[in-house]
Amino acid sequence: MADVFISYSHEDRELVQSLAESLQLEGFSVWWDRDIGGGAEFAHAIERELSAAETVVVAWSSASIGSHWVRDEAEYARGENKLLPLSLDGVLPPLGFRQIHALEFKGWDRKAEHPAFAALLRSFGQDRSSTATSIEHKTSTWAKPGIVVLPFTSLSTDKEIEFLADGITEDVITALSTNQHVSVAARSSSFAYKERSADVRKIGQALGVRYVIEGSVRKMGKRARVAAQFVSADSGAQIWANKFDFVLEELYGDPDELVTQISGNVFAQLLTAESERAKRLPPDAMGIWEHCQLARSYFKRWEVSIETISRTLDALERAIATAPEYALGHAILSWGCNAAIVNGAYENDRFEPLLEKAKKHLKIARIQAGDDPYCLTMVGASETFAAMHDCAIPRLERVLERNPANVEAWYFLAQAYAQGGRFAEARAALDRVNAIAPEGGLSGFHQWYLGYVAYASGDYEDAASYLKAQGRRTPSWAGCHALAAISCFILSDEDEARRSIAKAKDANPHLRPEKLAGLVRIQHDRDKGAREYAILEQLWHEDSESPTQS
């Protein structure tokens, strides 16, 4: 259920969409009836959301003052003492609704900095400037993993190649610096090591960093080969390495694609390295960042028991209690709770506590995230797993506008697109992941994302193939087996469907079909979801002795 319900006339749809998206980016969940169908479902959904919302924004205009729907919703909101009116075009509210001052939105330029929108936020008890300043001040004190990008070496006598190598170095520094959870050594510190041979472990000690990026540029006729390595400064061990071939003139003109690939791979590998590091630390040496990365490592694998997931969520919640202003912790906890809920990965008596925890920490993360792209990515992830794709899509798209190398944001966006019925865009997002970092981020779940998009679009043959492949890789993921079972049943492979159901039951003895209702039923095509859920129930309750092996 959303924080804010917007009542409006469809003549004002475009402006209200901008209002909804702006509120979502400020941390509010928003409901407005842009997608819902007509008839009884329409009326029931409106009544449910209107009742659940904390605030009802009524957008009065020359069109909406004549709408019986808007008047009825405004009347209900006034009676419940949660009416917040505004005037889109300067019109006065109708008689009977003028006792409450309507905020003036005539002339709103659709920007968050406009006085009208600032006044709206103050009406919610939120001040953009003071909140942003407060969060920036509070989160600046936590330790961050340090990284230095050493000057890329030119392996050519051509001076232009040296200039190109320096430019790549500077651009990678800039790209990585967009992440507020990584401390990137300044250009001056980096270039102090140009043309100097030094052990990366000594560089790490001198600059106080845990990781080093180094590389080279080699001219090969009309092409250039760029090699890059990501190295642990503690051990000197190579964590990741790759080479990239480009047409030289294209690289001169626009190195952005190369920089995106290097920075995208590096941050994905850094998160994995930090997760492994957190596992080795004694509990008393772990800070909130380490707790976040440890939790992420479990949530990303789905190869652990329900008991382990529960303990991980509880441990992260205790860590957050020691650092309540750390927005990333709230975002990751909410994501973990919603991921457990949608996959049925919880004990029978844990649903309500998990749901309340997910909603509570998502709301805090939205408010505290500010302009932190990594935190906003995890907020979008939580919204995606809660089937709030209307919130997740614009949020993740804007994250990727700032940092197109964020491979996890591409994965979450693909799932959100699929939930919204935007299947071509979902596939394009997964193609983009393959182009940037096919071995980084959530690559261990690539088959799942391909399978989910295929399943949601009705391509059951591809869905069955991808989901069964993912199930072999993550055998404890019951939700994956369940979607594979449905796909196989629709393809008339009932024996394979029953085997997949048996695997789901073996993976999670607490599982019941209703625990997977959100995963199966909440689709762009609701009738399709209902049919598939009926198949799941049928398969689940059949007495079958089919073997579970592939």
Asked if residue 328 lies in contact with residue 378, where contact means CB atoms within 8 angstroms, the answer is yes
Shared domain for 467 and 513, answered yes or no, is yes
Q: Is the residue at 63 inside a domain? A: yes
pLDDT digits (tens, 9 = 90+) for 503-539: 999 988 889 999 999 999 888 999 999 999 999 999 9
Q: What is the CATH number of the domain that holds 225?
A: 3.40.50.10610
pLDDT at 50: 85
Shared domain for 150 and 102, answered yes or no, is no
Select from 414, 475, 444 the least CA-distant residue to 268: 444
How many angstroms separate the CA atoms of 375 and 373, rounded? Answer: 5
- Total domains, the chain: 3
The alpha carbon of 269 is separated from its chain's Cα centroid by a whole number of angstroms, namely 18
Of 269, 292, 314, the one marking the end of a domain is: 269
308-317, 321-330, 490-499: least confidently modelled range: 308-317
Residue 550 pLDDT exceeds 50:
no
Shared domain for 115 and 72, answered yes or no, is yes
Q: What is the CATH number of the domain that holds 18?
A: 3.40.50.10140
The parent domain of residue 35 ranges over: 4-126
Of 73, 97, 126, the one marking the end of a domain is: 126
How many angstroms separate the CA atoms of 311 and 274, rounded? Answer: 20
Backbone angles phi, psi at 239, to 5 degrees: -95, -40
Query: Parallel, antiparallel, or unpaired for β 30-31 and 223-232?
Result: unpaired
pLDDT at 127: 53
Shared domain for 89 and 154, answered yes or no, is no
In angstroms, what CA-CA distances link 100 with 9, 63, 86, 90, 279? 20, 20, 10, 15, 55
Specify the DSSP element, H or E, that contains 333.
Answer: helix 327-342
How many angstroms separate the CA atoms of 134 and 302, rounded? Answer: 36
Asked if residue 194 lies in contact with residue 151, where contact means CB atoms within 8 angstroms, the answer is yes
Q: What is the mean pLDDT of the chain?
A: 88
Q: Is the residue at 461 inside a domain? A: yes
Query: Parallel, antiparallel, or unpaired for β 183-184 and 153-154?
Result: unpaired
The alpha carbon of 74 is separated from its chain's Cα centroid by a whole number of angstroms, namely 34
Gyration radius of the chain's alpha carbons: 26
pLDDT digits (tens, 9 = 90+) for 266-294: 999 999 999 989 888 887 788 899 999 98
Shared domain for 94 and 197, answered yes or no, is no
Of 220, 239, 269, the one marking the end of a domain is: 269
Specify the DSSP element, H or E, that contains 107.
Answer: none
Q: Is the residue at 325 inside a domain? A: no
Shared domain for 174 and 117, answered yes or no, is no
Task: Report the Cα–Cα distance between both ends of the chain, in Å, rounded.
Answer: 40
pLDDT digits (tens, 9 = 90+) for 367-408: 999 889 999 999 999 999 998 999 999 999 999 998 899 999
Which pair of structure tokens corresponds to residue 424? 């071509």
Q: What is the CATH number of the domain that holds 495?
A: 1.25.40.10
Residue 129 pLDDT exceeds 80:
no
How many angstroms separate the CA atoms of 275 and 357, rounded? Answer: 23
- pTM for the predicted model, two decimal places: 0.74
Residue of higher predicted confidence among 131 and 538: 538
Asked if residue 176 lies in contact with residue 263, where contact means CB atoms within 8 angstroms, the answer is yes
In angstroms, what CA-CA distances link 122 with 83, 115, 335, 532? 15, 10, 28, 45
Shared domain for 448 and 538, answered yes or no, is yes
